[in-house]
Each structure stands twice: as structure tokens, then as C-alpha cells.
Structure 1
């Protein structure tokens, strides 16, 4: 009764809820509540992945979607009455915050221990990374020689006055910019990172509403260089588009490329913990290819090959993912961006 009544309340509130099962669409709640309720900030074809899980296991899944922060606040606010079984995000920081608030259940799972390397999961097994993405530099090769980039600290190098009027960057919607800045604060400290962001802005950076718009702006000649998640370019080029844009792996002679994860954990108040754990185990093993298909992120599972579109960019050295830093320093990143005047 709790599950049915809570989902009815969520639907009445006008939130995006969908039952995922064979033959159902991602448009509305089904007649009966699913076996699992997933609160997710991830929107990359998740409904198709969850359909595949249902087909293979018989376990049905309901989705409540929003951004990571909204879903986290909902789990906090609902407390013991929450219908949520899984909290899924597009960034490591909110996973750390959920675990730090004791909202996620520690799991004992040899399957997840083997499938998810230690650097992509919580030390106490409360959350697990599922796919990886790199946020790096993209550019117009007709106007930019890759040798112009600072190979030691590429992000800081974009403050060089030679880039004035040549830069595009993402706005503050979503977690991408704040997670990058949080990682830079962790690496360089607040003051140096503030100088860096102010340096970007001093170069008359063009702020774009999303990564796709940024890539299209480079292709159209609006700007020459930008920072984006790798898979947006991989997705476009897999469809024969934006072939006039190239990717540069940032800071390969320094700290490495900023990397983040999309991951999930079992909500501590779930009344379907066994099924929820099975869901995470499937996503980290048999479901890895389905997670990657069409979006070209990198697998966390080292036994799963990188798909062809992402593999075409070549290998890279990532900056270590520090979920605690991304979570703890997110307020500092938000403050810093506001102080710099970043919109």
C-alpha cells in the first residue's frame, strides 16, 4: 500500500514517472506499481536498459526522473515513507552525499566487488559506479593546432590570452561544470581555481546551454575550442555528424582528464533490497553493453570492451575520481562560479 499510494502522490504532483516493462512506454505510470522504484538523474536511454533488465529477470521497474539534486532531496524528505529502492545519478558527488547522509544501504556482493574497481565505488559498498565519462577539450582542427594546448594543465591553459574570443563553455545547468570545478578546487585549491575561471571569462568565453549546442557552435565557426563530455562528440560522429570537430585529451602530462561516473546505490529504506541489489549487479555485468549502447560512455567493468565510437578517441589517463571531493566541494564550486560571474 505504501508503494502504490506514494507513486500516486508523485504522479499527481506532475513528476515524470514511467513504468518500464516489455510493451510499456516511457510516457506514464502503468496500471500496477513495478517491483523496483528507481529515482534517477540519468536520462541516457535508461528506459531501454531497464526494459532489457525486465525481459531478462522478470523484475519490473518504475522510473521517477529529475536532476541528481532533486532526486536526492526527495529521498531525504520522504524518509522512511519513500518508495525509492534505487538512487541513480550522473555524478559521483551526489552519491557520496547520499551515503554520507546514511540514505544508502551497504551491500555484500562478490559480483559487484569483481565488476566495479575500487576507485569507482564507495569504500563501504553503499554506491557503485556503472559507467564513466571524460570531460575534456574539443576543437576545430582547421583553426587550432593541438600543439597550442597546454599538455600539463589544459584546463588552466585556456586562460591564456591567445584564446580570447575563441572559447565556448557549458552553462551551469546539470552537474558537469560544477563537478569539473569541484575537481579543480580539490587539485589546485579555491583561490587558484577562482583565478582559472576568471581567466576563462576574461577570454570572452561564449556560454552555451548544453554540450550539443557547444559542439555545433565549434562546427559552425562560432568558437574554436570548448570543454565537453566525450560521449556527445562520439554520439554525433557515430551518426556521421560533426566530423570537423576533434577531441584533445586534457592534461596528459599532468593530473589527467577530469572523469566522472554515473552510478547508483540501494536506498536504505527500500523494502525490495534483494531485487535492488540484483538490479545493480546486472547493470555492472550483463547490462554494461546496454548501458553503453548509443551513448558511448566508458564501462566501469574492466572485462567489458569500450565501444567503437569511444575507442576511436584513443586511450587516456584520467584524473582520479574523488566522490567525496566532488560532494564536499560542490557548494564551494557553486560559490566560486557565482563569485567569478559565471552564468
Structure 2
């Protein structure tokens, strides 16, 4: 195993050497290099502490479990509450008491026991055809089960973590029975079998296969930045439905301190830096997301899509509903 310094040069040092370095901090990350390199470079410039990163596509928690106390990782950086909750459940994160972080991260965006902290959020929005849908028609997630949308909705798999997060929020607000009825209604309104990623749903709207779709907001920015996909993005409006006045569903990217951290003090400095309003804004702009720090603002492009009030339920509460959400999705055979 090896870490790469954030200069991304060819030099690779052994994990054992890095874990003992006095002015280093070691990171396991699910986020792509281009999204975090500017922040890590800024941290090194400000503190003199080098950052070393292992980028993983999967198995981050399993790796920490296998390495145990010998793990060289100080910090994890990941997306989605299910992954953060999984790290908590596996007992690989340590609590951090920091007044700086507490001031930067509202309570609903951090673990109640301070084992992880949110940096940015992404809203689960509705993409709507500019030609065939009045955005004013879409005000709530509950409305997606209305028969007026029969044959008009596209979405990705019901078992995907993004979908399960939304279903978990529906359970929190309405209970299991009503959520199951809602899932049955949404399934009855599908234009096609759930498939593809969030961008594929917008492409389907552009192609006339459906009129509305569920997706994360940041894909709109990514499509606008892609020459081939700009036409898809220009075919839709983005809308921010709510849970009947309870706010728009959001998910999160977050950071946490590992229990094994060999460079604990440096790691806490990194967490405090990453949760600072300025760092959050840089991070949010790179991926078209929303910073969580009070007083921080998203990029001008993201702001141009409209504003919303986020659902204020603590995300760990939603994580507790994930198993039930999956069971309900399977009971209604949502993907069938």
C-alpha cells in the first residue's frame, strides 16, 4: 500500500514511513483528486503539513477494519451518509471535540457523537422538461406518486444509495406504511424500468422518453460542463421539491478522524481547515454542491438554479432507516 502526496508526482513512499512523519497527515478518500487537490494544497501552504492520499473506489471501511491499529490513515473523506454511518457502525472513527468544527458545521450535518462532520451537501432534486412540464407543478416528493405523472417519470435503481436516502427520509416523515404506498405510486408512474445513473435520466428527458426525473443537483453543473451533455441539461429545469413543507432532501460529503490515526493532532488541524467556511466554498464550487458552514454561499452558477430550505433531520437518523428503506423497495419490486 502507498500514499501519493497531493502534488501527484511520481514519488511514492511506504505507508509505514508516512505514518511516522511529524509533519504529515494521511487520508483515505472516495473523492476524486481534482476535487480535493486545491484544498489540500492550500492546507499545506497554511500549515506546512503535508497531505498524503490513497484514493479508493470502494472498500474504505473494510480496509480500515483489516488494518486495525496498524492503519496509517488519519482521516477519511467520503460521500453519502450511508458510508459515513457505515464507518461509525464499524467503529473505525474517533470522536473529535473541537469548538472550531462545532461552529462551522450545523448539528444536522454532523454525527451526534462527533465522529464525522459534513463539508458540503447535495440536494435530491427533480429535473423537469422545459417543453412539457411547468416547474410550478412540482412542489413535493409526495406529489411524485400522483397519477398525473403516469408514464412520465424516470429514475435510477430503487436500491441505489441515493434512492434509499430519499426513501429513508420519507419513512422519517411519514412512516413505513405511507412510504410503501408512495413507492407503489411512484413505480406506477415510471416511464421505463429504473436504470442508469442520474445523468442518464436527464438524457432520457431530452430524448422524450419521460418528462421528469430524480437526481442530485451537482449533475446539472457537470452536464453543463460537458460538451456532449450540455444539450441534455439545456432541455430541463431544476426544481427543489420538499417533504410537504419540511424541506428538501439533502445528502452529504464528510470527513472523520480514524481511531488509529498516527498523526492525530495534524489530522484535527486538517478537519478544522476542511470545515472552515472558505474551504467549504472552494470544495462546494469544485463539485457544484452547497457548503454547510453558517454564512457560506455556493458558487454563482449553483445559486442561479434557485434556493431551497433543507430538511433539518439529522442525517444519522436517516441512516437508521436505510435497512427498512431497502426492504420496502424490494417489497414493492420497484426495479421489476
TM-score, normalised to structure 2, is: 0.86
2:222 pairs with 232, 235, 244, which one?
Answer: 235
1:61 pairs with 49, 52, 60, which one?
Answer: 52
Secondary structure in 2 matching 1:208: coil
TM-score, normalised to structure 1, is: 0.84
Paired position in structure 2 for 1:147:
136
Paired position in structure 2 for 1:317:
309
Unpaired runs of at least 5, structure 1 = 1-6, 9-17
User: Displacement, 1:239?
Assistant: 6.2
1:168 pairs with 150, 154, 157, which one?
Answer: 154
Paired position in structure 2 for 1:225:
212
Check conservation: 2:6, 2:51, Cα contact below 8 A: yes
The answer to which of 107-116 and 39-48 deviates more is: 39-48
Change (3 A) 1:44 1:226: farther
2:126 pairs with 109, 114, 137, which one?
Answer: 137
1:192 pairs with 161, 178, 182, which one?
Answer: 178
Paired position in structure 1 for 2:270:
279
Residues 279-318 of structure 1: CA deviation (Å, up to 9, x unaligned): 1111112422331233110001123221011101222111
Residues 166-194 of structure 1: CA deviation (Å, up to 9, x unaligned): 11112257521111111111111122112
1:71 pairs with 2:88: no
Secondary structure in 2 matching 1:287: helix
Secondary structure in 1 matching 2:317: helix
In 2: Cα distance, 1:327 partner to 1:292 partner:
23
User: Displacement, 1:37?
Assistant: 3.2
Secondary structure in 2 matching 1:45: helix
User: Displacement, 1:160?
Assistant: 1.7
In 2: Cα distance, 1:144 partner to 1:113 partner:
42
1:30 pairs with 12, 17, 20, which one?
Answer: 12
1:209 pairs with 183, 193, 196, which one?
Answer: 196
Paired position in structure 1 for 2:325:
333
In 2: Cα distance, 1:180 partner to 1:336 partner:
12
In 1: Cα distance, 2:285 partner to 2:311 partner:
24
User: Displacement, 1:53?
Assistant: 3.4
In 1: Cα distance, 2:144 partner to 2:126 partner:
10
Secondary structure in 2 matching 1:325: helix
Paired position in structure 2 for 1:118:
107
1:245 pairs with 2:236: yes
2:117 pairs with 128, 131, 135, which one?
Answer: 128
Paired position in structure 1 for 2:6:
21
Paired position in structure 1 for 2:21:
none
1:257 pairs with 2:251: no
Residues 235-279 of structure 1: CA deviation (Å, up to 9, x unaligned): 333668222210111027522211111111101121111111111
